[in-house]
Amino acid sequence: MSGSSLKNSIGLVSPQTVVMREPLTLACGIMLSSHTLVFETYGQLNADNSNAILICHALSGSHHAAGFHEGDSSPGWWDSYIGPGKAIDSSRFFIVSLNNIGSCFGSSGPTSINPDTGEVWGASFPSLRARDWVESQRLLMEHLGIEVWAAVIGGSLGGMQAMRWSLEHPEKLLNAVVIASAMKLSAQNIAFNEIARRAIKSDPDYCDGDYLQQEKAPLHGLALARMLGHVTYLSDELMGQKFGRELRSGTFSTEKTQPIEFQIESYLNYQGDKFSDSFDANSYILITKMLDYFDLARQYQGNPVKAFGHAQCKFLVISFSSDWRFAPSRSREIVHALISAGKDVSYAAIESDMGHDAFLLPNNRYEDALASYLSRVADGLDASIQAEGDQT
C-alpha cells in the first residue's frame, strides 16, 4: 500500500469479533442461543459516548467499510466517504461498521457452524428480516457501551435498516440517513431477485444448498446472479459511456475467425467470477429474500405515515437521478410520508449517471450534502458537551 493511498484515510484497520451470548429470537420464531458478529470501528468515542454512528451495509457489503487491511491494497467499500475530514468524519465521530448475521464475512450465517449441531448451517440457516439485523446491532451497541446513535446510515438495504431502527428503537438514534432506498421493493425488484436465485439453484453444484458439506460450490450460478444484479445497479448512460459497443476481442471482418467479445461482456464476466469467489450462494439467497420481505409499514396496516409516527429522530433522505433500481420516486415516497407524519426531514436529489451504485461512488454534491448534514450533527453534540461542562 503506497503512502498516497493513506491520504485522508483511516489507514490500517483490523476487524474485531464478538460472540453475543444473549439469545436472539428472530422474526421467523427461531431463537439463536448465541451468535457471532464481526465489526470494525473508526475514530474515538467522545466524553459522553454520544458521537457513535452505525454504518449499515447493503446486500453484499461487509464490516470492512473504510481503511485498509494489512497486505490488501483494496480499501473498504465506503472509503470515499469515511475517514478524517471526509463526509462521515472519523475525527469527529466514532463509526461502527459490522457484518450482519446471515452474511458470509465472519458473522453467524450459512457458512458458519450451527452450535446446536456442530455442522455447517448451509441452507438451514433461518430466514431473516431487517428487524433481526436491527436487534443484533442493538446487542453490539450495548456491548460497546453506546446508549444512543448519533446517526444510523445506510444505502439501499442499509437505508432500510436505518428506517427500521427509527421504528423499532426510536429513543436510540438521533438521525437516520436513508440513501437510495425504499419502504418496500417493487414487483420488478422482486422479479430480479427471483431470477438471480433461480440462476444459483439451477447450478448442478448447488446440491439443494448443501454444497459446503459436499465440498462443492455453485460458482457458475452465483456468477450469473451477480451479473444480472450488476446490470441493474448501473445505468444505460454509464454503460454506454464506459463500454459502448467496443470489442474486447475478435473483429467483424469476414477474414477473421476469432470469436467476438464486447467490452461489456468481458466486464460482466469478470465481475461475476470475482464475486462468486468471495461470496456465499446461500447468503445471497437469504439476503435477497430478506430484501423481498421488507415492508416498513406492514405492521401498520400498510400506512407509512402511521409507521413513521413512531419515529423520534431527524432524517436525511438522498436519491440519485439515474438509479432505476431504487428510483428517486421511491425516496420521495419516504419524504412525503415523513412530512405527513410531522417529522424533521431533509431531502437531497443528486444528479448522477452512475445508477444505483452511485451511493458508493465519489460525487461532489452527494458528498457535500452528506458532509454538511453530519457536520451539523457533530456541532450539536459538541455544543451539548460544552453546555454540560459549563453547568459543572
Res 2: pLDDT: 38
CA neighbor of 105 nearest in space, from 149, 55, 63, 58: 63
Per annotation, catalytic residue among 79, 280, 323, 357: 323
Q: Which residues contact 144 (CB under 8 A, 6 or more apart)?
A: 41, 52, 96
If pLDDT is split at 50, 70 and 90, which confidence band does 256 have?
Answer: low
Q: Give per-residue pLDDT as tens, 272-296.
A: 999 999 999 999 999 999 999 999 9
Characterize 313-337 residue by residue with b for buried, 16 or more Cβ atoms within 10 angstroms of its Cβ, and e for exposed: bbbbbbbbbbbbbbbbebbebbbeb
Q: Specify whether 156 is catalytic.
A: yes
CATH of domain 3-184+296-391: 3.40.50.1820
Per annotation, catalytic residue among 35, 57, 64, 356: 356
Grid cell of 39 as nine digits: 465489526
Domains 3-184+296-391 and 186-293 belong to one CATH topology: no
Q: Give per-residue pLDDT as tens, 122-147.
A: 999 999 999 999 999 999 999 999 99
Rounded Cα distance, 3 and 73, in Å: 11
DSSP code string of 308-353: HTT--SEEEEEEETT-SSS-HHHHHHHHHHHHHTT--EEEEEE--S
Rounded Cα distance, 26 and 137, in Å: 13
Q: Specify whether 236 is catalytic.
A: no
In this structure, whether the domain defined by 186-293 belongs to CATH 3.90.550.10 is answered with no
- The domain spans of the chain are 3-184+296-391, 186-293
Res 392: pLDDT: 62
Per annotation, catalytic residue among 9, 112, 156, 322: 156
- What is the reported pTM? 0.95
Contact predicate 380/150, CB 8 Å: no
Q: Give per-residue pLDDT as tens, 322-350.
A: 999 999 999 999 999 999 999 999 999 99
Q: Specify whether 112 is catalytic.
A: no
Rounded Cα distance, 374 and 54, in Å: 13
Characterize 70-100 residue by residue with b for buried, 16 or more Cβ atoms within 10 angstroms of its Cβ, and e for exposed: eeeeebbbbbbbbbeebbbbbebbbbbbbbb
Res 331: pLDDT: 98
